[in-house]
Structure 1
């Protein structure tokens, strides 16, 4: 069971599904939407996904024809994306409350990638902030 929520806790969901594949998307709209170099997502079957609370505070933007990015209108967290005609929804891994230990499988849309980030370059790591 996967559980997720927004930053302020107003929106929560669950999905009775495992994380099978993690994708880092570098497309222009993911970068703009999340203000990051990429967005990490996993797809789960639509029929296994359900909102637990907060549907009334969800906002949405159609970022490309037929694709809705759903976010909490209170805190701004982007929690999921969907194409309503598709059998899966895309969960934003940063909003998962369930610990996931899977390793990402692929970077997509590298043609749109931020020029200041290259996943092939290893960087020093710190356990906390600067």
Structure 2
């Protein structure tokens, strides 16, 4: 694969970044840590190498990190102001893990699958729910 560039920001706009590198994978992760970190049924994470490929355009000083004590390499990186999940450097994988929801540009690839599927919450991603363009009628 050739190098691509993606950019993103947090919800409040204080933190902005670009990442230029090679796309390695894009998965929806259903592990308990990702669910807790996002507050959702899964995290959609894009992995780009090398780990030095991220450039913080602004707001790097507004980031906080939480390292899960018993985890080998899992930590959460987020904006101190709005709480948005932000990219995190994973030197052990020589990669940057990017929460896809933080992207302002289209991901370079589509999601490739669901990981930690057997760990998913019982209510998450197992049936075909109705789809609405905005709020459902009468809501």
Per the TM superposition, whether the score is higher than 0.5 is: yes
Within 5 Å, which residues of 2 pair with 1:1-130? 1-17=5-21, 19=23, 21-45=25-49, 46-63=51-68, 64-100=71-107, 102-119=109-126, 121-130=127-136
**In structure 2, what is the Cα distance between the partners aligned to 1:33 and 1:93?**
14
Deviates more, 1:26-35 or 1:78-87: 78-87
Larger radius of gyration: 2
Deviation at 1:8, TM superposition (A): 0.4
* TM-score, structure 2 as length reference: 0.83
- Does the CA contact (< 8 Å) of 1:61 and 1:68 recur in 2? yes
RMSD of the alignment, in Å?
Answer: 1.8
Deviation at 1:19, TM superposition (A): 4.6
Deviation per CA, 1:110-129: give whole Å up to 9, x if none.
Answer: 1210101234x222211112
| Unaligned residue ranges in structure 1 (runs of 5+) | none
Deviates more, 1:86-95 or 1:63-72: 63-72
Deviation at 1:18, TM superposition (A): 5.7
**In structure 1, what is the Cα distance between the partners aligned to 2:27 and 2:73?**
20
| Unaligned residue ranges in structure 2 (runs of 5+) | none
* TM-score, structure 1 as length reference: 0.88
- Does the CA contact (< 8 Å) of 1:2 and 1:18 recur in 2? no
- Does the CA contact (< 8 Å) of 2:30 and 2:119 recur in 1? yes
